[in-house]
Structure 1
Amino acid sequence: MTTIAPVKDGIANPAPLGLCAFGMTTVLLNIHNAGYFENSSMILGMGIFYGGLAQVIAGIIEAKKNNTFGLTAFTSYGFFWLSLVALWTLPKLGWTTAPAGNAVVAYLAMWGLFTFLLFFGTLRLNRALQFVFGSLTILFALLAIGDATENKSITHFAGYEGIICGASAIYTGIAQVLNEVYGKTVLPIGPVNS
């Protein structure tokens, strides 16, 4: 009689990489939004390499693991960071004009809508991801409102909310790493009973 052994994919969980890349870049950008320092090459570098490329890599690995949600989220937000850096830098390089009118408001609103729709997927995953996506939806809404009204107080408030959002993503990523390393729940993420 032949025994069939289950096949293990042998691929590490890419979610902690994607979550930490998103979280750390989000925290740094929102410290700027809160008014603590100017936008600089530090934020641009994080946006390209960690928030951008690392999340795209995590998303591609999620595809290999047959995780459509992870593929869609990490790849999309990786390209969000790359597109945001492009919005800031391409006009300065003289390659195009800066967004005019409510173009940035539309950009932020579309990302907010996308995030809100992905939030419904987190209802089957865990409470930590629900918080990340819920707070990110609020962040995009606040940034869009702040940009539409040109109200710096709203943008500064969004910065503080964004720091919380980014920190929650870092927590969720590190929790997954530590829980796997120790083989038990070290940092809870609140699994959902499906």
Structure 2
Amino acid sequence: MSNPQQVKITNADPSAIGLFGLAMVTLVASSQKLEWTTGLSYVIPWAIFLGAFAQLFACIEDSKRGNHFGTTAFGAYAFFWFGVAASWMIKMGVFGEALAKNVDTHQLGFAFVGYLIFTLFMTIGAMEANKVLFIIFVLIDFLFIGLSLSTFGIAEDFTHKLAAVSELFIAIVSFYGSGANVLNNHFGRVFLPVGKPFGIFKK
């Protein structure tokens, strides 16, 4: 009888592509919120392919690596961008006038509140990943605070600007995080520092 052999397949860290997807979609989306650009037609493709599919790919690959936190984070935000893109298309009448006429933006506000609650939990988890990731999650908290309040019409001008600025900074920090992940892994050393975990909750 031949002895059974175990083969271990090692997957590359997908965080770089996931963070790149997040960086790209928030950069493009924030340009519209900040009124540097107009309309949503050219935001939607980036929401679907970078915000959604790139992060979904990172989610699946993190799942194979047994990374529970990465799987949950990338997966949840991937489906967020699928949902947002579909909501925009409904509002623009892509799926017909009947759906467009029945839009109630407060329902989107409740979705933003739900993601704010989720992100607050994930921010605690990010404290034991690295400081760059923690900063990204804090900025996402502010993004969802701004989106939730502005969608419900609460201090709309200020909260919309809060969401816009937060989204822009998410893009900037995510570009850095993506680059750091690629170069640190590629060179096998700390080329771009991301900061050690806080060490509060994990031994």
Normalising by structure 1, what TM-score?
0.90
8 Å CA contact 2:32–2:40 kept in 1: the answer is no
Summarize the Cα distance change of 1:101–1:173 in structure 2 as closer, same or farther, 3 Å threshold.
Answer: closer
Give matches, 1:37-186, under 5 Å: 37-91=37-91, 92=93, 93-94=95-96, 96-97=99-100, 98-100=102-104, 102-149=106-153, 151-186=156-191
Q: Which moved more, 1:91-100 or 1:152-161?
A: 91-100
How many Å separate the matches in 2 of 1:57 and 1:180? 19
Alignment length (residue pairs):
190
For structure 1, list consecutive stretches of 5 or more residues without a partner in the other structure. 1-5
How many Å separate the matches in 1 of 2:99 and 2:180? 42
8 Å CA contact 1:35–1:156 kept in 2: the answer is no
How many Å separate the matches in 2 of 1:41 and 1:154? 23
Summarize the Cα distance change of 1:124–1:157 in structure 2 as closer, same or farther, 3 Å threshold.
Answer: closer
8 Å CA contact 1:139–1:161 kept in 2: the answer is yes
Structure 2 residue matching 1:42: 3-state secondary structure: coil
8 Å CA contact 1:20–1:170 kept in 2: the answer is yes
8 Å CA contact 1:31–1:160 kept in 2: the answer is no
Aligned to 1:12: 12
Summarize the Cα distance change of 1:48–1:89 in structure 2 as closer, same or farther, 3 Å threshold.
Answer: same
What displacement does 1:35 show? 1.4
Structure 2 residue matching 1:62: 3-state secondary structure: helix
For structure 2, list consecutive stretches of 5 or more residues without a partner in the other structure. 1-5
Amino acid at match of 1:57: F
Summarize the Cα distance change of 1:153–1:120 in structure 2 as closer, same or farther, 3 Å threshold.
Answer: closer
What displacement does 1:96 show? 2.6
Amino acid at match of 2:15: A
How many Å separate the matches in 1 of 2:114 and 2:81? 14
How many Å separate the matches in 1 of 2:108 and 2:26? 18
Q: Which moved more, 1:124-133 or 1:37-46?
A: 37-46
8 Å CA contact 1:24–1:167 kept in 2: the answer is no
Task: Point out which structure has higher relative CO (alpha carbons under 8 A, 6+ apart).
Answer: 1
Name the % identity. Answer: 26
Q: Which moved more, 1:11-20 or 1:88-97?
A: 88-97
8 Å CA contact 1:34–1:158 kept in 2: the answer is no
8 Å CA contact 1:34–1:157 kept in 2: the answer is no
Structure 2 residue matching 1:38: 3-state secondary structure: coil
8 Å CA contact 2:106–2:152 kept in 1: the answer is yes
